């Protein structure tokens, strides 16, 4: 069967509606869908200074590529990129190379911060001396640095490469762990809090599946290697991802249904958990925290103790 819109050979079969599209029509469909979401949820507004959380992987390069197109068209916002070097040999060094190349070729300012400079060592070395799971340490560190550095750089929004697969996993994880309060802070735009220390996060790929993003990145030649963090399958998220993928393979459209249902109940969740978490300042670093000492400072303390033992 040819493309739905012409007689060309299809490059993808969209699983939620069983539509086949050729290269030209898929790229058009993809970009239009992302731009419509940006408009519908007002992800970017006039005078925004948008920072892209750039890992150099397919998702963040796709976001950067589309926002760059949008910026060239409407010229009402600024665009820069921020990358975190966790220190994962064989993975992050390679994706950072892709990030640097893209930014150089497209004249985009890239700011890089590393765990080594900010926390004293690379993730690889921390893991050699500690039994802690990689993502339990890396996730909080990454979120902490992205928010703090984005604020210091004066970004008004931080765009991330989260796609529909990532978000459906988070929704199910929060549900299984009875963590609805965290889900209340999800959605295409997050961090809309009175506390100015939190930089609003936007997710332009919210409605695009992992497969669609990978296809787009491949067709637009944004990346030559599709690398995955070596720790990504060790986590609870890895198990949830496999579970959802298995169900999707049998009942196509499941991932879209998770997101659509979630967007229907999101306003109720937000209302229910409004003002629920008191935000204080971490006594150690001064960053916003719901507890006396923030999660990042607690982890740094544990790492320090273990390295002297």
Who contacts 294 (Cβ-Cβ below 8 Å, separation ≥6)?
A: 144, 282, 284, 285, 287, 288
Residue 231, binding choice from Zn ion, ligand SF4, none, Cβ under 5 to 8 Å by partner class: ligand SF4
Q: State the nearest-atom distance from the C-beta of 296 to Zn ion, in Å.
A: 5
Q: State the nearest-atom distance from the C-beta of 278 to Zn ion, in Å.
A: 16
Residue 294, binding choice from Zn ion, ligand SF4, none, Cβ under 5 to 8 Å by partner class: Zn ion
Which segments of 153-278 does DSSP mark as H helices, in order? 164-176, 180-183, 210-219, 236-250, 254-272
- DSSP annotation of 199 reads P
Nearest CA-CA partner of 33 in 166, 205, 164, 158 = 205
- The stretch among 26-34, 101-109, 228-236, 239-247 that binds ligand SF4 (CB under 6 A) is 228-236
In the block, tokens 């919210």 appear at 206
Q: Which of 71, 77, 113, 139 binds ligand SF4 (CB under 6 A)?
A: 139
Of 135 and 222, CB closest to ligand SF4: 135
Query: Distance between CA atoms of 36 and 215, rounded to whole angstroms?
Result: 19
| 86 lies in the site for ligand SF4, by CB under 6 A | yes
- DSSP annotation of 78 reads E
- Helix axes of 58-74 and 92-105: crossing angle, nearest 10 degrees: 20
Of 4 and 237, CB closest to ligand SF4: 237
Of 44 and 52, CB closest to ligand SF4: 52
- DSSP annotation of 177 reads T
Assign 303 to helix, strand or coil: helix
Q: Which of 22, 61, 138, 145 binds ligand SF4 (CB under 6 A)?
A: 138
- The stretch among 4-12, 195-203, 257-265, 282-290 that binds Zn ion (CB under 5 A) is 282-290
Residue 139 φ/ψ, nearest 5 degrees: -60, -55
Q: Which of 50, 282, 299, 300 binds Zn ion (CB under 5 A)?
A: 282
Q: Which structure tokens are listed for 87?
A: 């220190």
| 83 lies in the site for ligand SF4, by CB under 6 A | no
| 284 lies in the site for Zn ion, by CB under 5 A | yes
| 263 lies in the site for Zn ion, by CB under 5 A | no
Residue 19 φ/ψ, nearest 5 degrees: -105, 135
Of 132 and 285, CB closest to Zn ion: 285
| 294 lies in the site for Zn ion, by CB under 5 A | yes
Residues that bind ligand SF4 (CB under 6 A): 86, 134-135, 138-139, 229, 231-232
């Amino acid at each position: 069967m040819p493309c739905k819109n012409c007689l060309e050979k299809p490059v993808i079969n969209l699983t939620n509606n069983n539509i086949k599209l050729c290269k030209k029509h898929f790229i058009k469909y993809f970009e239009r869908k992302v731009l419509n979401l940006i408009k519908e949820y007002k992800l970017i507004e006039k005078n925004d200074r948008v920072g892209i959380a750039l890992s150099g992987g397919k998702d963040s390069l796709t976001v950067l590529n589309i926002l760059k197109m949008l910026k060239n068209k409407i010229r009402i916002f600024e665009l820069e990129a921020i990358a975190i070097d966790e220190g994962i040999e064989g993975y992050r060094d390679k994706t950072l190379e892709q990030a640097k190349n893209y930014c150089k070729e497209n004249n985009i300012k890239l700011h890089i911060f590393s765990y080594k400079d900010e926390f004293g060592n690379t993730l690889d070395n921390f893991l050699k001396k500690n039994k802690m799971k990689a993502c339990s340490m890396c996730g909080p560190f990454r979120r902490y640095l992205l928010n703090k550095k984005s604020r210091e750089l004066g970004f008004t929004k931080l765009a991330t490469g989260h796609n529909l697969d990532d978000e459906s996993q988070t929704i199910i994880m929060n549900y299984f762990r009875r963590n609805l309060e965290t889900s209340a802070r999800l959605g295409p735009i997050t961090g809309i809090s009175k506390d100015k220390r939190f930089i609003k996060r936007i997710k332009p790929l919210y409605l695009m599946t992992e497969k669609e993003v990978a296809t787009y990145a491949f067709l637009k030649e944004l990346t030559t290697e599709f690398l995955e963090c070596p720790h990504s399958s060790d986590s609870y998220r890895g198990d949830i991802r496999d579970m959802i993928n298995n169900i999707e393979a049998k009942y196509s459209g499941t991932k879209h249904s998770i997101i659509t249902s979630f967007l229907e109940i999101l306003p109720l969740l937000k209302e229910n958990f409004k003002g629920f978490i008191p935000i204080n300042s971490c006594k150690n670093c001064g960053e916003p925290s719901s507890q006396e000492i923030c999660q990042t400072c607690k982890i740094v303390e544990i790492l320090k103790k273990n390295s002297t033992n």
